[in-house]
Amino acid sequence: MSLSIEDYNEILGEYNARQIEHARILTERRNEVNRKIPSYSGMEEEMITLSANRARALIRGNKEEANTISEKLEDLLRNQKLALIEAGFPIDYLEPIYTCKECKDTGFVDGNRCTCFKQALIERLFEQNNIREYLTNENFTSIRYDLQVGEDARRFEKAVSKARNFVEEFENGMQNICFSGPVGTGKSFLSKCILGELLKKGYSCIYFSAPTLFSTIGDYKFHKSATQSVNPTEILYSCDLLVIDDLGTELTNSFCVSELLTLLNEREKYSKSTVISTNLSLEELNNAYSDRVFSRMFSNFEFCPLTGQDVRIYLKQMQTRK
Structural domain of 219: 126-321
Asked if residue 105 belongs to a domain, the reply is: no
Asked if residue 236 belongs to a domain, the reply is: yes
Do 1 and 219 contact (CB within 8 A), yes or no? Answer: yes
pLDDT computed for residue 45 by the predictor:
93
pLDDT computed for residue 229 by the predictor:
56
190 shares its domain with 302: yes
152 shares its domain with 71: no
291 shares its domain with 191: yes
Number of domains in the chain: 2
Looking up residue 220, the CATH number of its domain turns out to be 3.40.50.300
pLDDT computed for residue 81 by the predictor:
93
List Cβ neighbours of 310 (8 Å cut-off, separation of 6 or more).
182, 183, 184, 185
199 shares its domain with 261: yes
Asked if residue 166 belongs to a domain, the reply is: yes
Integer CA distances (angstroms), 85 to 5, 31, 42, 58, in order: 47, 16, 17, 33
250 shares its domain with 156: yes
pLDDT computed for residue 154 by the predictor:
94
37 shares its domain with 138: no
Neighbours of 63 (CB within 10 A): 10
Asked if residue 107 belongs to a domain, the reply is: no
Domain boundary among 86, 106, 134: 86
Secondary structure letter of residue 142 according to DSSP: G
200 shares its domain with 69: no
The residues of the chain scoring below 50 in pLDDT are 1
Asked if residue 103 belongs to a domain, the reply is: no
List Cβ neighbours of 143 (8 Å cut-off, separation of 6 or more).
160, 193
pLDDT computed for residue 1 by the predictor:
46
pLDDT computed for residue 292 by the predictor:
84
Asked if residue 214 belongs to a domain, the reply is: yes
Domain boundary among 30, 63, 86: 86
- Pairing status of strand 3-4 against strand 228-230: antiparallel
> In the structure, how many helices (H) and strands (E) does the chain have?
13, 9
Domain boundary among 86, 113, 138: 86
Do 224 and 6 contact (CB within 8 A), yes or no? Answer: no
Asked if residue 212 belongs to a domain, the reply is: yes
pLDDT computed for residue 288 by the predictor:
87
170 shares its domain with 309: yes
pLDDT digits (tens, 9 = 90+) for 35-94: 999 999 999 999 999 999 999 999 999 999 999 999 999 999 999 999 999 999 999 999
pLDDT computed for residue 3 by the predictor:
61
Asked if residue 251 belongs to a domain, the reply is: yes
155 shares its domain with 286: yes
pLDDT computed for residue 225 by the predictor:
58
Q: Of the candidates 212, 213, 160, 154, which has an alpha carbon nearest to the alpha carbon of residue 186?
A: 160
